[in-house]
Amino acid sequence: MTRIVKDPETRRQEIVAAAKALFQAKGYEHTSMNDVMQTLGVAKGTIYHYFKSKEELLAAVVESMVSDSLPAMQHIVAETPGSALDKLHALISITRQAAADDTMREHLRQPANLGMHTRILATAFREQAPLYAELIRSGCDEGIFHTEHPLECAEFILAAVQFLTDVTIYPWTAEDLGRRVQAFPILVETQLQAPPGSFAFLAGMLENRR
């Protein structure tokens, strides 16, 4: 039988894809490196050549998931007509839609996937903040926003949308969530010195997360 030799990047991508499917199906805590090896039919030395531990493999899976989402987000920004605020609205909307994917959400809500869920949010926070900051800078140029700290404001918005209403991470009560849903749009407008009501749409998005 002829042995098939794959280039390193192709093999690495196969390992990441297999691990992602297993983490989603079985949960990160219930998936072993041996499971990944058996799925791919590769030797122990092969997988450990690319990833020294399951934690390192998880990091690669998370980076892959976040990287896969960025082109769609950049496309939305480029194709949405109107002001920076219009583009920011569209960007937040697609971010929320992606987070609301039923299959993925149910997997990530499982206790065994809490580590994976947190890593995805943290990586997305880091990778997406510059894109939000670019729109905030554009909004400042247009006179819609007024801030000397666009990146920090972007991080604030992402923290609000991704972390502070996530009941998987924080066991908020309905009252806790209700307070945040009402306050976040006003807080964002204050941070950006945006016209009143500019971010009223956030309330509806966050309400749907409850």
Q: How confident is the model at residue 98 (pLDDT cuts 50, 70, 90)?
A: low
Percentage of residues of the chain with pLDDT beyond 70:
85
Q: 208 pLDDT exceeds 60?
A: no
Interval 85-89 mean pLDDT: 94
Residue 164 is assigned to a structural domain of this protein:
yes
Interval 8-31 mean pLDDT: 88
| Residue 161: other Cβ atoms inside 10 A | 23
The total of structural domains in the chain comes to 1
- With H, G, I as helix, E, B as strand and everything else as coil, classify residue 143: coil
CATH of the domain at 159: 1.10.357.10
Model pLDDT for residues 27-38, shown as the tens digit of each residue = 888 899 999 999
* Residue whose entry in the numeric block shows the structure tokens 């590769």: 42
Residue 26 is assigned to a structural domain of this protein:
no
Q: How confident is the model at residue 99 (pLDDT cuts 50, 70, 90)?
A: low
Q: Can you spell out the DSSP letters for 147-172? A: -S-HHHHHHHHHIIIIITT-TTTS--
Residue 112 is assigned to a structural domain of this protein:
yes
Residue 45 is assigned to a structural domain of this protein:
no
Residue 84 is assigned to a structural domain of this protein:
yes
Residue 20 is assigned to a structural domain of this protein:
no
Residue 96 is assigned to a structural domain of this protein:
yes
CA distances from residue 190 to 26, 52, 140, 146, 198 in whole angstroms, order as listed? 43, 46, 14, 10, 10
Q: Which residues does 84 contact at the CB level (< 8 Å), separation at least 6?
A: 135, 136, 138, 139, 141, 142, 144, 145
Model pLDDT for residues 160-193, shown as the tens digit of each residue = 777 777 777 777 788 888 888 889 899 999 999 9
Q: What pLDDT does 2 receive?
A: 47
Q: What pLDDT does 87 receive?
A: 95
Interval 58-83 mean pLDDT: 88
Q: 51 pLDDT exceeds 90?
A: yes
Residue 50 is assigned to a structural domain of this protein:
no
Q: What pLDDT does 117 receive?
A: 72
Weakest mean pLDDT among 21-25, 108-112, 171-175, 188-192: 108-112
Interval 55-59 mean pLDDT: 87
Q: What pLDDT does 102 receive?
A: 44
> Model's pTM, two decimal places?
0.74
Domain housing 77? 65-207
Q: 132 pLDDT exceeds 80?
A: yes
**Roughly what angle, to the nearest 10 degrees, separates helices 54-79 and 33-40?**
70
